[in-house]
Structure 1
Amino acid sequence: MMNRREFLQLLAVAAASGMAIDSKQALAGNAPSDFYDIPTFGNVSLMHMTDCHAQLLPIYFREPNVNIGIGSALGQPPHLVGEYLLKHYGIRPGTREAYAFTYLDFQAAARTYGKVGGFAHLKTLVDKIRASRPDSLLLDGGDTWQGSATSLWTNAQDMVDACKLLGVDVMTGHWEYTYGAERVKHIVENDFKNSIDFVAQNVTTNDFGDQVFKPYVMKVMNGVQVAIIGQSFPYTPIANPRYMVPDWTFGIQDENMQKIVDEARAKGAQVVVVLSHNGMDVDIKMASRVTGIDAIFGGHTHDGVPQPYQVKNAKGTTLVTNAGSNGKFLGVMDFDVRGNKIVGWKYRLLPVFSNLIAPDAKMAKYIEDVRAPFAAKLNEKLAVTEDMLYRRGNFNGTFDQLILDALMTVKGADAAFSPGFRWGTSLLSGDVITMDKLMDQTAITYPSSTLNEMTGATIKGIMEDVCDNLFNSDPYYQQGGDMVRVGGIQYTVNPNNTIGNRISNMTLKGKPVDANRKYKVAGWAPVGEGVTGTPIWDVVATYLRDIKVVTPRKLNTPKVVGIGNNPGYVV
C-alpha cells in the first residue's frame, strides 16, 4: 500500500513522462498497457524531436553523470544528473523513467527495459499522437542528417527521406550544414518542397544580410494561428568548418529574433514558438531577453528535461524545453488558446521505449531497404567489448577513451585530442563492436586524423580555449560541445576560474608537461580547410581488429576542483 509521499511521487512521474496512472505497475517499474495514452488538452498541439543524429534503428544511450552548471546555471536544469534529477522531478529510482532520464544502474536497466528510439517505433508513436490531436505538427530541432554510416554514405539522403516519411512539418539545423551549403540548399528547395519547412532566422548572407532560409512559418491549427521561428546553431562556422558555409553568417541575433516575434504577432499569431538549436543555457538567456515567445523547443545539448523551465521576462513567461537525443524522446506540448491568448498548457516528454511500441511497417521496410546496400560493411565485426562503451559527459566517456587509445597507439603519439562531441550511441558489455557502431561515433564529413608536434604551452592553450567554450559564465560565449577529450595527459580543472586559469597540474607519464617541450599529439576532425589524413574510423578499426577484445578502459578524466557539491557532477 502506498503512503502519501509515494503517491505524490507517482503523480509527478506520470506528469513528467505522460504515462497513465497505474500504481502497482508504475512502482514496480513495469509499463501499463496504456503507457502512451496521453489525455488530450487544449486546441494546439506540437510534437518535438531533436538531435536524433541519423539513428534509424533502436539504440542504447547513456545519460551523463557529469553536466556541470556554472554561475546562474548551478543546480538548475539541465545541469542535474542522477539522483539529483530524479529528486527534482519526483521520479522514482529504479523505474523505467529513471532509466530513460539518468545514467543510474545503466547496464542493468538497459538489459531490463531494452533499447530506445528507432524511426519505425517513433513513427507509430507520432501517428498515435496525431490521431488524438487533429492539426498537430511535428517539429525537428536539427542534428538529424549526421551521426551514422548510412547518412554519411548517402549524403544525408536516407535521413531526408526518413523524415518525410515520419511526417516532419518544420525543422532547423546544425550538423546539416556540414554537408555544405549547396547540398543543404538543394535538399530544402527540392526534397522538402511542399513537405517540410526549413526555418532559420539567424542564417543570413555575408554580403547583404539576406535571409538564406525562411525565418519562420505561420500555421493554422484548429483555427489558431501559430508562428514557428527557426534558430539554427549560432556557432556553426566556429564549431564546424567555415569553408562548408563560406557565404553565410550565423550568430544568436537577439535583436532580429525580437523583430521576427513582433512581426509574427502583428500578422495575427496567437501562439509564437521558437524551434531552436542554441543549447538549453543559451535558450534560457534568450528567453529572458526576447519577449513574446510562448515556448522554445530546444536542442543541441542533448538534455532530456522532463518539464519546461519557466523563464520570466519583461512581458511574461517563456517555457524552455529540451527533448534529448538519438530519437530517445518525443516532446508533446498542448496549449489551450482562447480569446487570442494561451490560458493553459501541458507538456510531456515521452521516452520512446522500443519494446513498448510496435514498429510502423512502412518505415521498417524503408529502413531495411536503405541499409541493405551497405549491409556487409555495416555488419563487419571489429571486436568485442568487455566494458560498457558510452559517450556524453563534460570530460570523457569510455568510447571516447577507446578512440584516444587508438589514436595514440596507431599514430605513435605522446598524447591525443578527441572532440567533445555529444552524439554517439552506447554499447553494453559483451556487445560486438561492428563498423556500424564505430561509425555512430565518427561519421562526419571531415574525418581526417592528424599527428602534429605541439609545445606544452600550445597544448594548454587549446585546452583552456575549449574549456572556456564549455564553462564561460555567460551562455552566449559557450560555443557548443563538451570538453575536448584528452589522452595521455592528466590535469586538474577548476570550471569556476577564468580563461587561462582553469587548467593546471598537467602531467604526462608522471612528469610535468613542459611548456617549451614539443610533444607528438594525435587528433581528428580538423576544422581547417585542406587538412588530409587517414579517416578516424579507419584508425580505430585498425586498432580494434588488432586487439579483438576491448578490455575495460582506464578513463582519463581530470581532477575537478572548486565546484563544491555540484548536482551536475557525480563520480
Structure 2
Amino acid sequence: MDRREFVRLLGMAAAAGLPISRASETQAATDGFYTLPRFGNVHLLHFTDCHAQLLPIHFREPSVNIGIGSAAGKLPHLVGEHLLKAAGIRPGTRDAHAFTYLNFEQAARRFGKVGGFAHLATLVKRMKASRPGALLLDGGDTWQGSGTALWTQGQDMIDACKLLGVDVMTMHWEFTYGAKRVQDVIAKDFKGRVDVVAQNVATTDFGDPVFPPYVIKEMNGVPVAIIGQAFPYTPIANPRYFVSEWTFGIQDARMQQMVDEARGKGAKVVVVLSHNGMDVDLKMASRVRGIDAILGGHTHDGVPKAVPVRNAGGTTLVTNAGSNGKFLGVLDFDVKDGRIRDFRYRLLPVFSNLLPADRAMAEFIASVRKPYLKQLDEPLAVTEGLLYRRGNFNGSFDQLICDAMMEARGAQIAFSPGFRWGTTLLPGDTIRMEHVLDQTAITYPYATLSDMSGEMIKAVLEDVAGNLFDPDPYFQQGGDMVRVGGLTYTLRPNQQQGSRIHDMRLGGQLIDATKTYKVAGWAPVSEAARDAGGPPIWDLVAGWLRDKKRVSPRVLNQPRIEGLGPNPGLAA
C-alpha cells in the first residue's frame, strides 16, 4: 500500500467515525467483543428503526419507560440499574452504556459513538461469514430520520440497504413518502433483491393484499418463513392521506392463517418480522400459535435478551433490536428432524471505534452526502447541556423545540410530537443543521399556531395519555407522550381514560376550561393543516438557534407522576 492509498483509507475511516489514533487499541478490543461462535443451522440477523442514520452517532437510552398493568416491572419497561440486573450486565461496561442512560455523558466520551452503516456493514459481513446462509432482516423505519433521506425521498437509505445486503423488510415511516413511492421502490430498486412483506396491509376496496404476507427461504436445508407485520396504526399515527387506499391493523386471525399456511408449505421455522412495538408483540405471541420468534421494532427498545412467551402451541421468543443502527440482533436456531432443538440470541451493540469502516459502504456514504454537506454542516449554536430525545416524556431536545416554538411564535404553550427518533449531542457540541433535521425531517413538517380552549388542551393530553398508558397494548397506537412547553400538569397513568390528567397550570395559574390559549405545534396529520402550509419546523428551530448562538441546558417540563409507586421503568 502506498502513502496516497494509506491516507485515503485514513480519511474514509475518519469520515465514517473511526478514531484513527486509537485504531490499534480498538482492534485488540474488538477481537473479543464481537466473537460470537456459530451455533445451529438457521441464522437471522436483525436491525430496525435506524431512522436513516448513516454515520456514527451518540444515542441516549431512556430513563423513563413506564410499564402499566401486567407490563409493569417487566422487559422492555426496565431502565438503568433495573435493566442491567435483569440482563446480567455489569455496570460501567460497554454493554451498560449501550443499553442504559447511566452516566451517559462520561460513558459516551469514553466508549465513543455507536452505529454508522459502514461499521454495521463490517459486523454484518463478519456474522454472515461465520453463519452460512444467514438472512439480514430490516424491521422498518429505515428511510426516514435525516436530511438526506428527506431530500432524496429515502433513496440514500434504499441504496445503502441494498449495499448492506438486506434480504427481507417490513415498513412504517416508509409509508410517509406515499404509497406510490413505496411501490415504485419495490418494483424497481428492490426487485429480485429485497422482499418486502406485510400480512396486515390490504386495499380499502376489495381487501386485496398489498404486499406478500411472507416469504419462505431455504437455509442449510431448512425452510424458513419470514412473515411481515407492518406498523398496524400507520393511518392514525401518521397522515392517512399518504396511504388513503390501504387499510392496516394488527390482524391476529390473519396472522394465524399465515402461520398455518407457511407451515403447510413446509416451513420448519416461522419468524415474524414485526413493527408492532414490543408490548403488542408480547400479546400477539400469547395469542397466535406456531411462531418461533418475533423480531420486533417500533418502540426502539434495546432488549438484551429474548423474552419467551407461552401460548397454546408452545413458546414464542420475542425480541426488540433498539434503534438508530446501534444494535444488530443475532438469532441462531439449531433445527434437527424438522424441529427447533435449541437457540442462541445476542443483541450486539455497534461501537464505531471497535469495528473498522467497510470500504465500499464508507465510499457510498461519502458520495451520497457530498451534494448536501454545505446545508448539513451549517453551525447554528453551541449547546451547554446534553441534548437528547428518548423516553415517555420530554427529552432535552424536545424541550429545545418547544422553547423555540413558544418564543418564535409568541405562544403560551407548545406541543411537540412524542417521536422516539433523533440523535444525541454532548455538552459543548456545535448544533449543526444536520442535528436539527435529525429531530424534524418528516414529510409533514408544518408548524402550526392555534387558539385552543383549556377544555381542548385537556382533551388532547388525555387522548395521548390513553394511547400510551392503556393497559391493553392493542390500544396503544403511536409514540410517547406529547412533549409540552409552558404548561405543567399531573399525570396518573393507572387511572381510566379521561381521568389521567390533573392540575394543569400555566405560570402557576390553573388552566381555565373556558379560556382560550395560544398553542404552537408541528407535524399535524390532517389534510387541512397540510393545505394551510405553515413553515417547516426545521426553519423555525434553526432560526431560533442562529439568534441564540449558545443554548443553556434545558429545564425539562416533565409531568408530576402520581399513583405509580416505585416503578423500575422510572428513574429515581
Determine if the TM-score, normalized by the shorter chain, exceeds 0.5.
yes
Q: Secondary structure at the match of 2:382?
A: strand
Q: Which of residues 292, 295, 320 in structure 2 aligns to 1:294?
A: 292
User: 1:37: how far off?
Assistant: 1.5
Query: In 2, are the aligned partners of 1:337 and 1:343 still within 8 Å (CA)?
Result: yes
Amino acid at match of 2:540: V
Does residue 541 (structure 1) correspond to residue 539 (structure 2)? The answer is: no
Matched with 1:123 is 121
AA aligned opposite 1:548: K
Q: Specify the alignment match of 2:341 in structure 1.
A: 343
TM-score (norm 2): 0.94
Question: How much has 1:89 moved relative to structure 2?
Answer: 1.0
Distance 1:395 1:121 in 2: 31
Shift of 1:31: 4.0
Question: Cα deviations across residues 439-494 of structure 1 (Å, max 9, x unaligned)?
Answer: 00000000000000000000000000001110000000000200000110000001
What's the counterpart of residue 552 of structure 1?
A: 553
Equivalence for 1:228:
226
| 1:525 alignment partner in structure 2 | 523
Give the letter for the 1:162 counterpart.
A
- Provide the C-alpha distance between the structure 1 equivalents of 2:359 and 2:545, rounded to a whole number of angstroms: 35
Q: Which amino acid aligns with 1:396?
A: N
Alignment counterpart, residue 362 of structure 2, candidates 357, 360, 364: 364
Partner amino acid for 1:36? Y
Of residues 76, 79, 100, the one that matches 1:78 is: 76
1:306 deviates by 0.5
CA drift of 1:420 comes to 0.2
Question: Where does residue 497 of structure 2 map in the other structure?
Answer: 499
- 1:376 aligned partner, one-letter code: K
Query: Match for residue 511 of structure 1?
Result: 509
Aligned residues with identical type, % of pairs: 68
Within 1, Cα distance between the matches of 2:206 and 2:156?
34
Determine the structure 1 residue equivalent to 2:351.
353
**Is the 8 Å Cα contact of residues 271 and 294 (structure 1) preserved in structure 2?**
yes
TM-score normalised by structure 1 residue count? 0.94
Cα distance in structure 2, aligned partners of 1:268 and 1:274: 16
2:378: which partner in 1? Answer: 380
Contact 1:236–1:250, Cα closer than 8 Å, also in 2:
yes
Once residues 448 and 52 of structure 2 are traced to their aligned partners in structure 1, the CA distance between those partners, rounded to angstroms, is 26
1:191 paired residue number: 189
Contact 1:48 1:140 in 2 (8 A): yes
Describe how 1:384-399 pairs up with structure 2 within 5 A: 384-399=382-397
Moved over 2 A (4+): 30-34
- Letter of the 1:554 counterpart: V
Q: Structure 1 CA distance, aligned partners of 2:84 and 2:129?
A: 31
Q: CA RMSD in A?
A: 0.7
Question: Given the superposition, is the C-alpha separation of residues 93 and 31 from structure 1 closer, same or farther in structure 2, using an over 3 Å criterion?
Answer: farther
Q: Are residues 325 and 416 of structure 1, via their aligned partners in 2, closer, same or farther at CA, if it must alter by over 3 Å?
A: same
2:65 corresponding residue in structure 1: 67
Alignment of 1:73-472 (within 5 A): 73-472=71-470
Partners of 2:438 and 2:236 lie apart in 1 by: 23
Q: What's the offset of the Cα at 1:34?
A: 2.2
Instruction: Write the deviation string for residues 226-273 of structure 1: whole angstroms up to 9, x where unpaired.
Output: 000000000000000000000000000000000000000000000000
Q: Whole-Å Cα distance in 1 between the matches of residues 523 and 449 of structure 2?
A: 12
Letter in 2 for 1:463: L
Residue 565 of structure 2 corresponds to which residue in structure 1?
Answer: 564
Q: Which amino acid is the alignment partner of residue 546 of structure 1?
A: D
How far apart in 2 are the matches of 1:134 and 1:528? 48
Amino acid of the structure 2 residue aligned with 1:58: P
Shift of the alpha carbon at 1:189? 1.2
Contact 1:31 1:96 in 2 (8 A): no
Secondary structure of the equivalent of 1:399?
helix
Structure 2 counterpart SS, 1:151: helix
| Residue 35 of structure 1: how far off its partner (Å) | 1.4
Q: What CA distance in whole angstroms lies between the structure 2 residues aligned with 1:114 and 1:331?
A: 20
In the TM superposition, residue 32 of structure 1 has moved relative to its aligned partner by 5.6
Q: Offset of 1:499 from its aligned partner?
A: 1.1
Q: SS of 1:33's equivalent?
A: helix
Q: Residue type matched to 1:570 in 2?
A: A
- In 2, are the aligned partners of 1:384 and 1:549 still within 8 Å (CA)? yes
Letter in 2 for 1:188: I
Specify the code of the residue in structure 2 equivalent to 1:92. Answer: R
User: Residue in 2 aligned with 1:13?
Assistant: none
How far the C-alpha of 1:508 sits from its partner, in A, is 0.1
Distance 1:369 1:503 in 2: 49
Unpaired stretches in structure 2, ≥5 consecutive residues: 1-27
Deviations 1:348-397 (A, max 9, x none): 00000000000001100000000000010000000000000000110110
| Distance across 2 between alignment mates of 1:330 and 1:31 | 18
Which letter maps to 2:535? Answer: T
Q: Deviations over 1:527-558 (max 9, x none)?
A: 00142101000010010001110101111000
Corresponding residue of 2:19: none
* Number of residue-to-residue matches in the alignment: 542
What's the CA shift string for 1:297-334, capped at 9, x where partnerless? 00000000000111000010000000000000000000
Is the partner of 1:354 in helix, strand or coil?
Answer: coil
CA–CA distance in structure 2, aligned partners of residues 521 and 148 of structure 1:
27
- Matching residue's letter, 1:227: A
Query: Which residue among 469, 485, 509 is the counterpart of 1:487?
Result: 485
Distance in 1 of aligned mates of 2:89 and 2:320: 18
Q: CA deviation at 1:514?
A: 0.3
Q: Find the counterpart in structure 2 of residue 9 from structure 1.
A: none
The answer to whether the Cα contact below 8 Å between 2:30 and 2:354 also exists between their aligned partners in 1 is no
**Is the Cα contact below 8 Å between 1:45 and 1:332 reproduced in 2?**
yes
